[in-house]
Amino acid sequence: MSEPILSVRDLSVTFDVRPQNAWPWTPSLKLQAVSGLSIDLQPGETLGLVGESGSGKSTLARAIIGTVPVSGGNILYKGQSLMAMGRQERRKHRRDVQMVFQDPLASLNPRMTVGDIIAEPLVTHEPDTPRKDVKSRVGELMERVGLLPNMINRYPHEFSGGQCQRIGIARALILKPKLMICDEPVSALDVSVQAQVVNLLTELQKDMGLSMIFIAHDLSVVKHISDRIVVMYLGRPMEIGPSKEVCRAPTHPYTQALIASVPIPDPKAERARVRPILEGDLPSPLAPPSGCLFRTRCPKVQAVCAGDRPVMDTSGPDQMVACPFHD
């Protein structure tokens, strides 16, 4: 196996949160957004991140691109620590790692034309590129993502949500990155448009040899595009494994509940199946449960679950799970 393009080792991201209406001398609270996460991403691989809102998926993405500070652990890009990078090295890292955001329209500048939006990263990182070459590369990318070249002078409000997401994808690809992070890129789109965007990302990933991190709530979408899946809960990994295996035979109770929440297209089969219901609300990350973070909602909870926090069981060939009572 080749060297990972990205390695995350025992990563922790903590935020200081001031209580509402607190006195000036009141100490801030610690919010553990990501804790104890270790993953590798191989060249050309797509890694899916799934979990409920507040599970730390987007925080992990922002730690990788360097927009939130890391509290502990390490992130290695091509074997080099991001925390040890100098200014010039970080600039190159920003070229190699690009991001596609959740809200396609909100991520685009309404005062800029589509051509200027897509060209902006190229103009920023390669200011000496002739205008003719910039326009040519923008036109090529627009066609590649399914946009007509004559749309180059239009503004974002003139496009649909799916078209705006295609613009965002073109902007992310113009610097020919090695790693693309997609932060719930289809959650704001209609189901039919979601399929088009996911298929487009799959084609681009194969054609350009991209490594990709794909964040989503919908496991059916993640299964379609990902090679491996990381299931997260309150900032910690619950299960990691090949996407087909995780979706076919989930081992962690939380993964099983997520899989059960995905509807089956057959109405009779959907009504007949018995699904585990995930009861209760997600605990506050400011006051997480002791021991296993999932124990307050787990149907298999036992007394020992309130003790030490479970570690990943790596005894399986591919799948890893953080539960001593998994199936």
The token duo for 11 is 């990563």
Q: Which residues 6+ apart lie within 8 Å of 206 measured at CB? A: none
Question: Which strands, in side-by-side order, build the sheet including 46-50?
Answer: 97-100, 179-183, 211-216, 46-50, 228-233, 236-242, 320-321
Residue in this structure with the two tokens 């997600």, named with its chain if needed: 282
For residue 159, the tally of other CB atoms under 10 A from its CB is 19
Under a CB-based contact definition with an 8 Å cutoff, are residues 74 and 81 in contact?
Answer: yes
CA distance linking residue 260 with residue 277, whole number of Å? 8
CA distance linking residue 239 with residue 232, whole number of Å? 7
Position 192 scores a pLDDT of 81
CA distance linking residue 27 with residue 204, whole number of Å? 48
Residue 22 amino acid letter:
A
CA distance linking residue 321 with residue 326, whole number of Å? 8
Closest CA to 238 of 175, 320, 118, 304: 320
For residue 311, the tally of other CB atoms under 10 A from its CB is 10
CA distance linking residue 67 with residue 60, whole number of Å? 10
Under a CB-based contact definition with an 8 Å cutoff, are residues 186 and 221 in contact?
Answer: yes
* Domains parsed from the chain with CATH numbers: 6-321 (3.40.50.300)
C-alpha distances out from residue 200 to 67, 100, 162, 206, Å: 27, 13, 11, 10
CA distance linking residue 231 with residue 217, whole number of Å? 10
Query: Cα(first)–Cα(last) distance of the chain, in Å?
Result: 29
pLDDT tens per residue, the chain (327 residues)?
Answer: 578 999 999 999 999 988 888 788 888 889 999 998 999 999 999 999 999 888 999 999 999 998 899 999 999 999 899 888 888 888 888 889 999 998 888 889 999 999 999 999 999 999 999 999 999 999 999 999 999 988 999 999 999 989 999 999 999 999 999 999 999 998 878 888 888 999 999 999 999 999 999 998 878 888 889 999 999 999 999 999 999 899 888 889 899 888 887 777 777 776 777 766 777 788 888 888 999 999 999 888 888 888 888 888 765 557 788 888 776
Alpha helices, H only, 97-188? 114-125, 131-144, 161-173
Closest CA to 190 of 166, 170, 219, 161: 161
Position 165 scores a pLDDT of 92
Position 276 scores a pLDDT of 67
Position 111 scores a pLDDT of 93
CA distance linking residue 300 with residue 320, whole number of Å? 18
